[in-house]
Amino acid sequence: QVQLVQSGGGLAQAGDSLRLSCAASGRRLNNYVVGWFRQAPGKEREFVAAIFRSGGSTFYEDSVKGRFIMSRDNAKNTVFLQMNSLKPEDTAVYYCAADAHLILSSVRRSDQYDYWGQGTQVTVSS
């Protein structure tokens, strides 16, 4: 079993950058697919980005492509989401999630992830 603890986030202005961290304990995170999801008030949780186990291939939702960068630090057993050029519509609670058995076609499905971080608020003002 893996435990995920998130940090980062907070308040930002449009155009600013923030970095989210998702630190794991209990297992090596590089053996898991790790995804980032977000949920805005009154909306469903949506996929943001994911990083795959082997080779660290990354996948992004179209709305964040070119602005957000997901990466791993295996030595720290941590995954990061660097968020650049933030927009007010990026405002949401962000969650990291992990799963050991996820296949490529399912990385965008939140119901396929077994382990979740506690969530962190990101608020972007215009």
Residue 53: which pLDDT band, with cuts at 50, 70 and 90? confident
Q: Can you say how many angstroms the Cα of residue 6 is from the centroid of all Cα atoms in its chain?
A: 9
pLDDT (average), residues 8-21: 97
pLDDT (average), residues 25-53: 94
pLDDT of residue 36: 98
Of 70, 89, 90, 73, give the one whose Cα is nearest residue 81.
70
Of 119, 121, 117, 120, give the one whose Cα is nearest residue 25.
117
CB 74 within 8 Å of CB 66: no
pLDDT (average), residues 20-35: 94
pLDDT digits (tens, 9 = 90+) for 69-109: 999 999 999 999 999 999 999 999 999 999 999 988 899 99
- As given in the structure block, the two tokens for residue 34 are 């790790």
pLDDT of residue 59: 95
Of 80, 69, 107, 82, give the one whose Cα is nearest residue 24.
80
